[in-house]
Chains A and B, each alone.
Chain A
């Protein structure tokens, strides 16, 4: 499946609708990064939410930076506090 990548801030209701979820793949990631199915409906949605188009590597860099910041926050916790959470792990976008 081909994807497009963008950043957009989720404003809440109607940011993505039930109908849109049936029309194209959509997945949110840290840093307001959205992976969007590459079809007509996905393109229309990016326009609707004023998404800023990113290349896959640009999107990955945003996600990785967010996770690294979360890792740093985790590492700064006490051992007791760390025991209640898990250390975030970097992963690759599809």
Chain B
């Protein structure tokens, strides 16, 4: 869900004052359900011209009234911070009009949804309730007398689709960013550790400046403009000397070696930003560690440890320096433990259904997804969604995989449309081969299903 700002100005083209939307006189605006539209009235020309929405053309000047569902207003038109905004959903009235509460004839049309949704959503349907749960409406049912079709409009179902293949196969890399702006740094190719630093824009992969110290099984956090890679090892078979404490920072164009970690901690979970990062758990050769360290952009500080030491959870990187999460991992046996960090301590919470390690995930403490991973020789396709309280089984990956990373704003929420990338890794379910194949998770805001009666 995005917030789209529409800049509103008022000017007189010769027939009296009119609204201009993004510079277009009385523009007919077409909005998409799932987004919030903000009519920004900060420009001084808006003084004395409060904009509102109505199902009636010209609103109160034509015996109509203001439409208020999902609408909020702020400030005084003509002053900084003044706006009227509407959250457009599948159930928003399709044909709306914007108008000035003080003067007639200034506004225009604000249409939401496609012509298909207009056809059904401008009529009131029957609410559909979830019979097996509570009485909350989960959609609406409509009947089209022309086509003889029933249509249901409800929350979409999350699925994995194939993403753009990576330029070469990779696993055990550091990954961070969003579904449309991420980095896949270093890691293993089919036969060696690579220095490659590969970016993804949601459509295509491209190679950027390579990292100084190629390594594998490290942790990463941040964005494509300001990222951090830390730890890992640079030998195919990690001898003690192969483990690294090196830290490198990415500024969007190059890597810089900065202060090392105070001690070895690799294959850790990670979260946060370049100036407020966090690593937790992992290995310290030969054992496991529960240590948590925060990073302020310069120094590492040890803070309260996980309740249980666990390793190889680095692909499920959730949250921020003050609200992080770890799920699964290797505690000596493969676990389904989940812990949450509140900025000062870790608390155990509801366990994932399938114990696993080297899985991937993304999201936040209140809405996330975990997918793939492995236990013994089994590599999973299983996907579970977290809603802040419990885990729910969701549609599986098409191909099982582990040793990879999830990035993005991915979610377990049922009413979001965020996407995330689930890149490369080792495919399976019974192979040690790296893959170039990626999968992307998406939950549509809503979908329309048609049932034709006979």
Contacts and interface: CB of A to CB of B under 8 A. Distances in A.
Contacts of A73: 432
A78 interface: yes
Nearest to A88: B430
Contact of B398 (A12, A27, A30, A84): A27
Interface residues on B, range: 20 to 34
B157 interface: yes
A9 B399 CA distance: 13
Interface stretch (B86-94, B117-125, B159-167): B159-167
Interface residues of A, number: 33
Interface in B411-442: 427-433, 437-438, 442
A33 B164 CA distance: 19
Nearest to B378: A89
Interface string B140-166: 000000000000000001011111110
A74 B432 contact: yes
Nearest to A74: B432
A81 B237 contact: yes
Given A10-B162, A13-B162, A67 B399 contact: no
Contacts of A81: 236-237
A21 B430 contact: no
Interface in A17-32: 17-18, 20-22, 26-30
Contact of A10 (B160, B165, B381, B444): B165
Contact of A84 (B159, B161, B237, B428): B237
B160 A21 contact: yes
Contacts of A22: 157, 159, 395
B344 interface: no
Interface of B: 157, 159-165, 203, 236-237, 376-377, 381, 395-396, 398-399, 427-433, 437-438, 442, 444
Given A26-B398, A84-B237, A88-B377, A70 B165 contact: no
Interface in A63-86: 66-67, 70, 73-74, 78, 80-81, 84-86
B424 to A, nearest CB: 12
A89 to B, nearest CB: 5
Residue among A10, A29, A74 with most chain B CB within 10 A: A10
B430 A91 contact: yes
Contact of A67 (B164, B381, B431, B437): B431
B164 A21 contact: no
B430 A30 contact: yes
Interface in A40-79: 66-67, 70, 73-74, 78
Contacts of A87: 377
A21 B399 contact: no
Contacts of A91: 429-430
Contacts of B376: 86
Residue among B162, B395, B433 with most chain A CB within 10 A: B162
B157 A30 contact: no
Nearest to B395: A21
A28 B399 contact: yes
A84 B172 CA distance: 12
7 contacts: A12-B437, A12-B438, A22-B157, A28-B437, A30-B430, A70-B433, A80-B237
Closest 3 CB pairs of A and B: A28-B399, A21-B159, A12-B165
Contacts of B164: 12-13
A56 B430 CA distance: 18
Contact of A85 (B160, B161, B203, B432): B432
